[in-house]
Chains A and B, each alone.
Chain A
């Protein structure tokens, strides 16, 4: 395509509608219209100019508002579909097979179809991510396509415009003026906070040009936000680990080298409806128990710099803190949240070693359920040997006791009991509910005495280095929205011909009411000719024609 030379001599890039220098209409369409299209100052937008190569086609596709809105609507519909049934993260199943089963069992055929289409994990599906990616591309291309020419044009705009540019503005006036008209107009416009530039016999008054950048600024904010979200997939930016920690335990914090956490106490408190809470009585009666507080009192340790690995006293206390919901522990860029808990996990069981007949006792032994000892020495030469420990006993398989999980939910002990009378030992299998004597009737047994329990706190360890980027994106978005929506770009062009005639044109990107209010003041002060709103005139004319048709 060729560059366009205007009658005024200025050479415009191909695709320009209004001469960058004087504002003359360069296309037939513009020449024939009553008002010029000022949306992008009549500049040459790449998307409106080239449509040959594949790159042109892609560029044009993504720079279209129609396509952008289309992507928004597709995202909106997809997002809505994802809420018809719960996403897989909210379903009480963990493996692919059980999840599939859950959807089929709970929601029948609908659930099966939903699962088969991949809607159970819609927001991480490749097509949803591609849609978000397309939105990002559209944001970038559509912004560049408009911003670059608009910026150039507004930066280089001249004070003096061709009369054909001025009389095709929506606000226009032509009429006689006095000698000092221009000067007085300049005064008043400056007073109204317009930036006024003059050139020979004309002036250009401008206010709020920055509001034109609003849309591009808010799009930059969104792009930064999406970039931040993408960055989380990079290693090192994002950590999400869970940490189950029992009361009294000290554990290394996963993915946080050199730090340890001790759980001193976990507490669950419910509303009692008493002591200042009487006001909640009615609600508590209706719904039952309501939790008031989940809290883990922790001590945070850090390995000393010079400590040898595994040294007992190689840790220093960094902080003691009660972690509660809404009050995570924060340190060194990490945060630890109260997320879950298990109350009253079995900690240790105490048995009494007795003779079944005489009930004579050889003393008691306590078995730690997390880290049990193998051998226990008791009074009068009795001893117990723990041959096998099954923390979550689930039954026998081929005669062997099995454990379902490593958690002490239903502990089973295979023990051998020794006394001076039975030096070769008696074998016994003990669970909470009963005792089995697999190798024949025994003389001695372990009688259950007591159990110790403790709470387990479920914490989440989190690091998210992208948060500042997301925050910045959000902030820029909000600034851009305010900039574009609450301010507007107003301009007046005034020229005085040699015979004293005044030409006046006005333009704003929005809020014509405000523009007219400004102009009325200038007209009065500088005795400018009365202006008309040419769009209103055109509409009135069209309406009259329409009514005329109806009448005839």
Chain B
């Protein structure tokens, strides 16, 4: 077994451990009558032990891959996103030992699972570094960012629990819709994972040539049946499905196809869940947060931000600027990734001012924390895949 193979197996072990731990945490929450755990239940103990085993395997994945590639495994979409899932779990483990809150594990672990599964849909083979990335700043800058984002995401998880507890799901309201929209988007990610896995297992591939927006000839490979065709497309694969609609050159129909398949599969999954349980997903989760101490969740959410914000400033702005000055000769260039890091920073600055200066605590603060996570995910997913820039390493 090579080091790279060991690394992949360890990631698999971590994934399975997190999956099991999710359910055990669920059980621990159900059996618990108190919101905060002065002492933890037996199930809580079992769940955190499984999580710790998973996290150890996760760290093992990270460092064996580092050994195999010769560089910090933070250089492309697969590596960064996987690391994000790992820091999310790491952040949760720290908070668990501070506050003994199994309910946080029940929310964080499935989200981390979803993130790692999402990461695995991207090419995961060991790839070499382009010259701009060949420096220790890769490890310094990106690891700080990924740790900061993991911590900030914890605040969103705490916010989500807060909202599940306080939002009245029996009456129609904006809050209820917003909460269900969050659940729906999480299921859409699952839809992407299911669709990608299905078509990749069945080995679907269709090649096309097309004319790109600069009027040059280009080629594209679809890994899902082409719902949308590229500008002036010509099929190279004989039995490929004929695209339903041809898109203009500025729209990348291949990516659009992936998005639409994910939405289709995700929506089907969502309604299946609704059909089976006969209630909203938020309502399915509601009984689990019955005993949650909302003041504690508010406190955890705030703590996560005041730790995550300075780390984010250091990693995503200060270290980023130092490296940009060395590699690209300027510390700031309004590259989309830089801009979205600034947006994230401004957002959390606004969060802190509203909380400390305007008394936005509790529910308002919880909504903001969830919104912060959405911004982070946008920067991770959309800015890498849709908006082209210097950071498009995926």
Interface string of B324-348 (1 = CB under 8 A from A): 0111111101101001101100110
Tell me whether A87 is interfacial, beta carbon within 8 Å.
Answer: yes
**Residues of chain B from 348 to 393 with CB closer than 8 A to chain A in the complex:** 349-350, 353-354, 357-358, 383, 387-389
| Contact in complex: A478, B213 (CB < 8 Å) | no
Measured CB to CB, the closest approach of chain B to A270, in angstroms, equals: 10
| Contact in complex: B327, A290 (CB < 8 Å) | no
**Residues of chain A from 270 to 289 with CB closer than 8 A to chain B in the complex:** 271, 277, 279-280, 282-284, 286-287
**Residues of chain A from 254 to 296 with CB closer than 8 A to chain B in the complex:** 271, 277, 279-280, 282-284, 286-287, 290-294
Tell me whether A66 is interfacial, beta carbon within 8 Å.
Answer: yes
| Contact in complex: A89, B326 (CB < 8 Å) | no
Contact among A123, A284, A464, A481 for B309, CB-based, below 8 A: A481
- Looking at B104-112, B123-131, B181-189, the stretch in contact with chain A turns out to be B123-131
Contact among A87, A283, A337, A477 for B123, CB-based, below 8 A: A283
**Residues of chain A from 361 to 412 with CB closer than 8 A to chain B in the complex:** none
Given A83-B340, A271-B128, A69 contacting B350 (CB threshold 8 A): yes
Q: How far is the CA of A473 from the CA of B331 in the complex (A)?
A: 14
In the bound complex, residues from chain A placing their C-beta under 8 Å from that of B327 are 325-326
| Contact in complex: B125, A73 (CB < 8 Å) | no
Given A280-B127, A294-B131, A83 contacting B339 (CB threshold 8 A): yes
| Contact in complex: A326, B135 (CB < 8 Å) | yes
Q: How large is the interface on B (under 10, 10 to 19, 20 to 34, 35 or more residues)?
A: 35 or more
In the bound complex, residues from chain A placing their C-beta under 8 Å from that of B346 are 72-73, 75-76, 79
Interface string of A100-135 (1 = CB under 8 A from B): 000000111000000000000001000000000000
| Contact in complex: B339, A80 (CB < 8 Å) | yes
Measured CB to CB, the closest approach of chain B to A451, in angstroms, equals: 28
**Residues of chain A from 452 to 484 with CB closer than 8 A to chain B in the complex:** 460, 462, 464, 467, 470, 474, 477-478, 481-482
Given A280-B126, A280-B128, A337 contacting B69 (CB threshold 8 A): no
Given A86-B388, A292-B131, A335 contacting B350 (CB threshold 8 A): no
| Contact in complex: B387, A83 (CB < 8 Å) | yes
| Contact in complex: A328, B326 (CB < 8 Å) | yes
| Contact in complex: A292, B128 (CB < 8 Å) | yes
Tell me whether B238 is interfacial, beta carbon within 8 Å.
Answer: no
| Contact in complex: B353, A324 (CB < 8 Å) | no
| Contact in complex: A467, B357 (CB < 8 Å) | no
In the bound complex, residues from chain A placing their C-beta under 8 Å from that of B131 are 291-294, 324-326
Can you name the residue of chain B whose Cβ is closest to the Cβ of A462?
B329
Tell me whether B318 is interfacial, beta carbon within 8 Å.
Answer: yes
Contact among A92, A271, A478 for B318, CB-based, below 8 A: A478
A-B pairs with beta carbons under 8 A, tally: 124
Interface string of B291-313 (1 = CB under 8 A from A): 00000000000000010011001
In the bound complex, residues from chain B placing their C-beta under 8 Å from that of A69 are 350, 353-354, 357-358
In the bound complex, residues from chain A placing their C-beta under 8 Å from that of B330 are 240, 462
Q: How large is the interface on A (under 10, 10 to 19, 20 to 34, 35 or more residues)?
A: 35 or more
Contact among B310, B336, B339, B388 for A481, CB-based, below 8 A: B310
In the bound complex, residues from chain B placing their C-beta under 8 Å from that of A73 are 346, 350
Q: How far is the CA of A513 from the CA of B126 in the complex (A)?
A: 49
In the bound complex, residues from chain A placing their C-beta under 8 Å from that of B239 are none
In the bound complex, residues from chain B placing their C-beta under 8 Å from that of A325 are 131-132, 134, 327
| Contact in complex: A291, B130 (CB < 8 Å) | yes
Tell me whether B68 is interfacial, beta carbon within 8 Å.
Answer: yes
Q: How far is the CA of A518 from the CA of B342 in the complex (A)?
A: 39
Interface string of A289-312 (1 = CB under 8 A from B): 011111000000000000000000
Measured CB to CB, the closest approach of chain B to A470, in angstroms, equals: 7
| Contact in complex: B125, A79 (CB < 8 Å) | no
Tell me whether B250 is interfacial, beta carbon within 8 Å.
Answer: yes
| Contact in complex: A282, B334 (CB < 8 Å) | no
| Contact in complex: B128, A277 (CB < 8 Å) | yes
| Contact in complex: B310, A123 (CB < 8 Å) | no
Can you name the residue of chain B whose Cβ is closest to the Cβ of A215?
B356
Q: How far is the CA of A82 from the CA of B127 in the complex (A)?
A: 32
In the bound complex, residues from chain B placing their C-beta under 8 Å from that of A92 are 214
Q: How far is the CA of A356 from the CA of B349 in the complex (A)?
A: 80
Q: How far is the CA of A76 from the CA of B340 in the complex (A)?
A: 9
In the bound complex, residues from chain B placing their C-beta under 8 Å from that of A277 are 128
Interface string of A6-20 (1 = CB under 8 A from B): 000000000000000
In the bound complex, residues from chain A placing their C-beta under 8 Å from that of B329 are 240, 328, 335, 337, 339, 460, 462
Tell me whether A65 is interfacial, beta carbon within 8 Å.
Answer: yes
Q: Which of B127, B128, B340, B387 has the most CB of A within 10 A?
A: B128
In the bound complex, residues from chain A placing their C-beta under 8 Å from that of B132 are 325-326
Measured CB to CB, the closest approach of chain B to A89, in angstroms, equals: 7
Given A65-B357, A291-B130, A291-B131, A478 contacting B125 (CB threshold 8 A): no
Can you name the residue of chain B whose Cβ is closest to the Cβ of A106?
B213
Measured CB to CB, the closest approach of chain B to A328, in angstroms, equals: 7
Measured CB to CB, the closest approach of chain A to B82, in angstroms, equals: 16
In the bound complex, residues from chain A placing their C-beta under 8 Å from that of B130 are 290-291
Measured CB to CB, the closest approach of chain B to A196, in angstroms, equals: 29
In the bound complex, residues from chain A placing their C-beta under 8 Å from that of B128 are 271, 277, 280, 283-284, 290, 292
Tell me whether B248 is interfacial, beta carbon within 8 Å.
Answer: yes
Tell me whether A42 is interfacial, beta carbon within 8 Å.
Answer: no
Q: How far is the CA of A455 from the CA of B249 in the complex (A)?
A: 35
| Contact in complex: B126, A82 (CB < 8 Å) | no
Given A294-B131, A460-B329, A279 contacting B334 (CB threshold 8 A): no
Given A286-B125, A478-B310, A485-B310, A76 contacting B383 (CB threshold 8 A): no
Interface string of B79-118 (1 = CB under 8 A from A): 0000000000000000000000000000000000000000
Tell me whether A68 is interfacial, beta carbon within 8 Å.
Answer: yes
Tell me whether B314 is interfacial, beta carbon within 8 Å.
Answer: yes
Can you list 22 A-B pairs with a CB-CB distance of less than 8 A? A66-B358, A72-B346, A79-B343, A82-B339, A83-B336, A83-B340, A86-B388, A240-B329, A279-B4, A279-B69, A282-B126, A286-B123, A290-B128, A291-B131, A292-B128, A293-B131, A294-B131, A326-B135, A326-B327, A337-B329, A467-B331, A481-B309
Q: A73-B346, A478-B318 are in contact. List 6 more A-B contacts (CB 8 A).
A: A69-B350, A79-B346, A286-B125, A325-B132, A326-B132, A328-B329
In order of increasing CB-CB distance, the 6 nearest A-B pairs are A283-B127, A65-B357, A325-B131, A337-B329, A282-B125, A83-B336
